[in-house]
Amino acid sequence: MSAPAVKEPSICTGCGILRDPTKPRCGTCGAAYPPAAVRALAQPAQGFWVAVRGAFWCRACGYQGPLNHIEEGDGVTCTKCGVEQKFDTSWKELVAFAHAVGDFGTPGHEGRFPDPAIRLTEAKPHAQVGSGAPWVEAPHGEVTLGNPLCRGCRAPVVAVPGGASFTTECSGCKERRSYERAPAKRYKLAGVVADEHEVDRREVGVTSNRGAMIITCPNCNGQLSGITQSDGACTCAFCSAQCRISTRTHAKVGHADTPRKVWWFHLAGPCAERTQIARRAKQQLEHRAKLEGKDRVRAAQVARDNAAYDAAKKKR
Ligand SMILES: [Zn+2]
Ligand SMILES: [Zn+2]
Ligand SMILES: [Zn+2]
Ligand SMILES: [Zn+2]
């Protein structure tokens, strides 16, 4: 018996996150939901998407700073006060939680990776996902199901297996985009989709001009104007270089109101929590089988005793 096919969740056609069935429009991007449901797409190699809106409590200023991409090194920088702090174990917590939500939060009694040999005996974690507000509170932010959309035609994208970089292909216009693998690998992710992680983007420079901080092109040194607090990438108007603006740079130039953005984890296979729950279910099953076995032995013994008693009675 093979596992039944997973029913992919319904998504918003504006931003790609899980649809809220109780609302006419998306609370995250404001787009009205289309009458016919659009679903996330099946991904290759047991892959699936989880949307992230990360944030951390700054140990220096006490405000929440956004986590809009994985930083180089093991620290993150607060955009409110500019202080860098260690964060690497926290990334692991966020990724593990996202993995569990993506696995168990998927529609169906047992979620994304049911094992036909072992029925789970305890309630499915994150069973409420998909019945109301989409975001689930996570350590260091919130996560939900969904599927990133093509920047051009807004169709859901699909991961392309293999390759030096993590590549996605639009299911509509077939446009491909590639993202760095190294930051994802560091935290056991199959991939990460965020503007800041697109390959061949160089980090912008920062210089000060009479006290004002100016963002410059890493290729031609030209001033990059019109960059907002939410931009993670830009193209130089002078030399067309593809540039990235990391949270660290936003912090450096004083973008204190850099928003929490929606970005994406690509995960693969069952989560660690499922392995533990399945192990408990298996132990229960074995325990029950053992008890039933003991009962059978006892019943046989009783039958033998009765037979011996009857035989003895007959002889008398
Ligand atoms: Zn939306
Ligand atoms: Zn701070
Ligand atoms: Zn497209
Ligand atoms: Zn340039």
DSSP 220-275: T--B--S--TT-SEEE-TTT--EEE--HHHHHHTT-TTPPPPPEEEEEES--HHHH
> Do 58 and 195 fall into the same domain?
yes
> Do 287 and 177 fall into the same domain?
no
> Do 38 and 170 fall into the same domain?
yes
Q: How far is the CA of 20 from the centre of ligand 1 (A)?
A: 10
Q: How far is the CA of 156 from the centre of ligand 3 (A)?
A: 8
From the CA of 82, the nearest ligand is 2
From the CA of 76, the nearest ligand is 2
> Do 140 and 182 fall into the same domain?
yes
Q: Does 248 map to a domain?
A: no
From the CA of 220, the nearest ligand is 4
Q: Between β-strands 202-203 and 242-244, what pairing exists: parallel, antiparallel or unpaired?
A: parallel
Q: Does 234 map to a domain?
A: no
Q: How many domains does one find in the chain?
A: 2
More confident residue, 312 or 86: 86
Q: How far is the CA of 40 from the centre of ligand 4 (A)?
A: 37
> Do 187 and 75 fall into the same domain?
yes
Q: Does 91 map to a domain?
A: yes
List pLDDT tens digits, range 239-288: 999 999 999 999 999 999 999 999 999 999 999 999 999 888 888 888 88
Q: How far is the CA of 160 from the centre of ligand 3 (A)?
A: 15
Q: Which token pair is 36?
A: 């016919």
Structural contact between residues 71 and 93, judged by C-beta atoms closer than 8 angstroms: no
List pLDDT tens digits, range 119-165: 888 888 999 999 999 999 999 999 999 999 999 999 999 999 999 99
Q: Does 31 map to a domain?
A: yes
From the CA of 151, the nearest ligand is 3
For the question of whether the overall pTM of this predicted structure is more than 0.85, the answer is: yes
